[in-house]
Structure 1
Amino acid sequence: MHIMEGFLPWQWCLVWWLIAIPFLVVGVIELRSIMRQDREYLPLLGVCGAFIFILSALKLPSVTGSCSHPTGTGLSVMCFKPYITAVIGFIVLLFQALLLAHGGLSTLGANMVSMAIGGPLVGYGVYKLLKNTSVNIYVTVFCVAAVADIVTYVITSFELALAYPAATGGVLASFTAFFAIFAITQVPLSIIEGLVLALVFKYIIQLKPELIEKLGVFSKKQIESALRTTTGVPEEKV
């Protein structure tokens, strides 16, 4: 996910930046709009940003000298949708590049496309698919977080494969090799991240259920059902 400074050829750095910039521009516009609507969203925005920063800063060794990271984007993409998540991801990745040497400035566009755009977009698709079904909301949250995490590394593998195609088998062979390396640690990490986010979301709806309902993340009926499941409070007392 954090492709280091100077690792990608400049042509590919430019390509990924050109893909990332429109998401960033639209995200800034949407962020300004939601802030004008209600400043009450600020604490939740802060929680989403902190969640992404802390989880994605965890640098866990993988095989052959590579590293794996959780991404933490699932909460943000459910609450604030993909474009604002792209802005939050950009800020997180920028600070990590400058302060933690995770990633780089030239590769920031590529890292955005994988972690702040591609992963969240697919996770958001899973959320929209499950949102209005009978699936428990904690299962939905788990699926969103896990899918956003693993897709981030699918895209990272694709970015690396395009930049460094294998001599035999080309991009496909290179992609397979890169993702096979990531998958050893990333598949279990994505499951753990899904469980962590489901637990975090449980406490958010216990503390601020009205905010989750106001944002349209889940309906009042779904939230009340989840609260009954976790607290055992009868429906008429929720």
Structure 2
Amino acid sequence: MHIMEGFLPASHALFWGAASAPFVVYGARRITRLMREKPETKMLMAASGAYVFVLSALKIPSVTGSCSHPTGTGLAASLFGPTVTTVLGTIVLLFQALLLAHGGLTTLGANVFSMAIVGPFVAYGLFHGLQRVGASAALAIFFAAALDDLATYCVTALQLAAAFPDPVSGVAGAAVKFLAVFAPTQVPLAISEGLLTVVVFNLLQRYSRGELFALNILSGKA
């Protein structure tokens, strides 16, 4: 994610903005309802948003000349759901575009779609799906965070491929090239993010048990 300012054609920028907008609106309504029903989770939500900001701001040079970084959205999606995370991710991406020159305003919709929509839906499905089949919370949060990261970059590669198809092999060929650009740094980053998120989740189980019970993340048997 973090496609830079002005990099996408105007039609693509508008398309991704329109595709992302309904998720942001619905997520804002979800946050309003959650804060009304479970106000004790407010600080945990703020901490989850800060986790997204810090991790996604860690730009690491890629051997191919591009940059890679974690996303941080897997934790928030597992705890609060994907659409709440969409809003948190949108706020983070907006601040980074304005203050850190990461991404941009014209590409905000595309960056939101990859990092704050697709990634969180993958994380949410994996975290709760794995727990339903008997996996431990630690294993579930690891795969949620790691594959959230990889899903984000796969979508970004497809977005770039659609905007800049290869003259010979078209969108498919361009997608393979963009995926290859990200893979050398992004695969180990995804694994590292998964492990770090396990550590953070374990700390939350120790110090924020009340909030996790309120969100139905922990059961009485936990």
Q: So what's the TM-score if we normalise by structure 2?
A: 0.98
Larger Rg: 1
8 A contact 1:24–1:86 mirrored in 2 = yes
Question: Hey, what does 2:52 align to over in structure 1?
Answer: 52
Q: Secondary structure in 1 aligned to 2:64?
A: helix
8 A contact 1:5–1:104 mirrored in 2 = yes
The aligned amino acid for 2:219 is: S
Matches within 5 A, 1:221-236: 221=221, 223=222
Structure 1 CA distance for aligned equivalents of residues 145 and 45 of structure 2: 17
Q: Deviations over 1:185-236 (max 9, x none)?
A: 0000000000000000001011121221220123232x2xxxxxxxxxxxxx
Question: Hey, what does 1:37 align to over in structure 2?
Answer: 37
Matches within 5 A, 1:1-238: 1-221=1-221, 223=222
Provide structure 2 residue ranges, at least 5 long, that are not aligned to the other structure.
Answer: none
Structure 1 CA distance for aligned equivalents of residues 166 and 198 of structure 2: 39
The aligned amino acid for 1:175 is: A
The aligned amino acid for 2:39 is: R
The aligned amino acid for 1:180 is: A
8 A contact 1:131–1:218 mirrored in 2 = no
The aligned amino acid for 1:23 is: F
Q: Percent identity?
A: 49
Structure 1 CA distance for aligned equivalents of residues 216 and 131 of structure 2: 10
Shifted more, 212-221 versus 157-166: the winner is 212-221
Q: Secondary structure in 2 aligned to 1:58?
A: coil
Question: Hey, what does 1:232 align to over in structure 2?
Answer: none
The aligned length equals: 222
Q: Which runs of 4+ in 1 moved over 6 A?
A: none
Structure 1 CA distance for aligned equivalents of residues 36 and 128 of structure 2: 26
8 A contact 2:38–2:214 mirrored in 1 = no
Structure 1 CA distance for aligned equivalents of residues 133 and 189 of structure 2: 26
Q: Secondary structure in 2 aligned to 1:65?
A: coil
Q: So what's the TM-score if we normalise by structure 1?
A: 0.91
8 A contact 1:141–1:198 mirrored in 2 = yes
Q: Secondary structure in 2 aligned to 1:220?
A: coil
The aligned amino acid for 1:90 is: T
